[in-house]
Amino acid sequence: MALKGKIEEFPVHEVLQFVALHEGDGVLIFRNKNEEISFGFISGKIAGAIYGKEDFFKPLEEYIINSGKLSSEELKRFKSMSKGENRSIDEILIEENIITMDEIKSIIKFKIQEIVDEVLTWKEGSYSFQPGQQLYKNRKIDILLEPNALLMEGTRRIDEWPRIKEVLGDPEITIFSTDKKRTDVEIGVEENRILEIHKDGMKVKDYIEKSGLGKFRTYNALFNLIELGILRKEEKEKEEIEEEEREKIKIDFRKVLNVLEIIIFVLFILIDTFLLFKFKMGIILKLFRRLFSL
């Protein structure tokens, strides 16, 4: 089942549903500018996903460190063991009782959901399905996920995204605690994770990096905590806003000056050309008069 085309004509969710419906076996690749997302399919179910060159092992390592199960130094030691014994890092971590197989599968599912969420935001680009190909040729962890379930969850998150983005549109926004007590309201697991790592002055991008929740769940948890009044985002001072407005006016004024300079330059060229033409025509007319006067 060969399949390729443009996302503008065949949206991402429809492509994923098409491959699932036809119980495709192979690799589905989406490309958007310099970005690439790949999904491995087995009998119409998603068995793995890669965003660019990053597979689930990187988030696995990040999750383990962020959860406090291992230090960076200990993880390096286990990775060195993995290379020396020619075994996968996950096998060693399970054997050492650092993490369970269920936890690894949960992390992989979480990562695949994050990648589905991301690709659903793509409105342009291309797709191609390569039948018979495998995303992980030597995979030892069997996981098969229903694309429709991932799409339903992804669509729900994307629907909420505009509202969240209105409050937390910039990853550089800094977050602070309020005076409201956390015990005053009931909060979820993801919100609790944000509060565990929270320090006044952290930026939104810092929470994404340290929470282990991924981009969309981190944004959602931060948004909920701000809505509940437990956290607040740093509001810009009036003077800062006014300074930004002045800078914007300066930039706009410079643009106007640049345009005026171009217009004046073009007019100068046109006038110069016209005068030169007029001068040459005067000489030609004089020559004609002299010729006819002979």
Q: How is the chain split into domains, by residue range?
A: 3-55+96-158, 168-233
Closest CA to 127 of 233, 26, 259: 26
CA distances from 9 to 4, 47, 131, 198 (A): 11, 26, 21, 43
Q: How far is it, in rounded angstroms, from Cα 45 to Cα 260?
A: 60
User: Which residue carries 């230090």 as its tokens?
Assistant: 71
- List the chain pLDDT tens, one digit each, 294 residues: 668 999 999 999 999 999 999 999 999 999 998 889 999 999 999 998 988 755 445 566 766 776 667 788 888 888 888 888 777 777 888 888 888 888 888 888 888 998 999 899 899 999 999 998 888 776 677 889 999 999 998 888 888 888 888 899 888 999 999 887 766 677 888 898 899 899 999 999 999 888 878 788 899 999 999 998 899 998 654 444 455 566 666 666 677 777 777 888 777 777 767 666 666 566 666 665 666 665
Determine the 3-state secondary structure of 37 from DSSP: strand
- 72 half-sphere exposure, CB direction, 13 A CA radius: 0
Q: What sign does the dihedral 175-172-164-50 (CA atoms) show?
A: negative
- Is this prediction's pTM over 0.85? no
Cβ neighbors of 40 (< 8 A, separation 6 or more) are: 26, 27, 46, 47, 48, 49, 134, 135, 136
